[in-house]
Amino acid sequence: MSTVPTIDIGPFLRSDAAGKRVVGEQVARTCEETGFLVISGHGFPLELLGRAQRELFAFFDLPAETKNRWHPTGPSKQRGYHGFATRGLAYTLGEQTPPDLRESVFLGPVDDHRAYYAGLPEAATSYAPNLIPDVLEPTLIALYREYERLARDMMRIFAAALELPRGFFDGTLDRHFSIMSCHHYPVLEKPPLPGQLRTGAHTDYGAMTILAATDAEGGLEVRMPDGSWAGVRPRPGEFVVNLGDMMARWTNQRWASTLHRVVNPPLGMTHSRRLSIGMFVHPNYDQRIECVPTCLAAGEQARYPVITAGEHIKRKIERSHEPA
């Protein structure tokens, strides 16, 4: 049984004044306690999500040499296809663990903001062109657009939860550089290496992550405040939302960016093939990340200096030891 609460955000999206207040209070409490919540009532087109899942499963069934046609060779490593057990998220915490037991397709921004950031060369990689398998492109672009919409809705909910003005976060995602990740976790056919997981324990870098996953054994676990690990298993049609390091910084650590991992299922278990599709929400590259007014008491100092979203992500990546 998951200890992460499910919150129906529908009343907030329907402009119900009382509902907005209740949803804001529920989200605030959860973000302060664990930084993880499950959402329903989000209005995401589930037919599109189902189609994307079917097409992705079919793509991941292709031979490795076919899939590797879409492996990036240019400056942007966070695009295209990455093969099984070639990356490891525990590296981001400096942990020397074996690579994660998954393969992935990544998309960056669909809109082209390179001209806007022409005077900021360090932003170029964040807005590099996508490398999308032909058979997936129409569906994944449509899916990316829906994740964008849901991310903006969640930022409005976060503003209410933080007791900020309604439009406080408006504009922060106009030129975002969010990454949509499609992770495939196949059935384990041989024992993992010592310490090897489907995804090693880590926190996310950005403002938040929005995740949809198929139901299977060997799933997401969250580190609870008492140090225990709790499984997160949303019902069909629900999404997991968790806060990243950037939101913890934005809120002066009032809200939590929590360790999480994807654990291994029993060896050879048929019902353990898993697919997760998530958006790692990164605001505009030049967006200032500074303590919001409601998270700073009178006489209190902000824990962090002002930084841009792009610089924050850049530093996080530089501090990690993930192999190229």
Pairing of strands 36-40, 6-8: parallel
pLDDT at 135 (0 to 100): 96
Distance CA 239, CA 45 (A): 12
Letter string b/e over residues 35-49, b meaning 16 or more CB atoms within 10 A of that residue's CB: bbbbbebbebeeeeb
pLDDT at 218 (0 to 100): 83
Does pLDDT of 287 surpass 80? yes
pLDDT at 288 (0 to 100): 97
Average pLDDT over residues 220-234: 91
* Global confidence as pTM: 0.92
**C-alpha of 80 from chain center:** 17
Distance CA 77, CA 54 (A): 25
**Does residue 209 contact residue 278 with C-beta atoms inside 8 Å?**
yes
Average pLDDT over residues 32-61: 97
Query: What are 234's two structure tokens?
Result: 């949303």
Average pLDDT over residues 60-83: 90
User: What tens digit of pLDDT does each residue of 172-215 get?
Assistant: 999 999 999 999 999 988 898 888 888 888 899 999 999 999 99
Q: Which residues contact 188 (CB under 8 A, 6 or more apart)?
A: 101, 218, 264, 265, 266, 267, 268, 269, 272
pLDDT at 160 (0 to 100): 97
Banded pLDDT at 16 (limits 50, 70, 90): confident
pLDDT at 64 (0 to 100): 95
Q: Which residues contact 255 (CB under 8 A, 6 or more apart)?
A: 31, 32, 35, 243, 247, 248
Lowest-confidence segment of 47-56, 70-79, 156-165, 269-278 by average pLDDT: 70-79
**Does residue 108 contact residue 79 with C-beta atoms inside 8 Å?**
yes
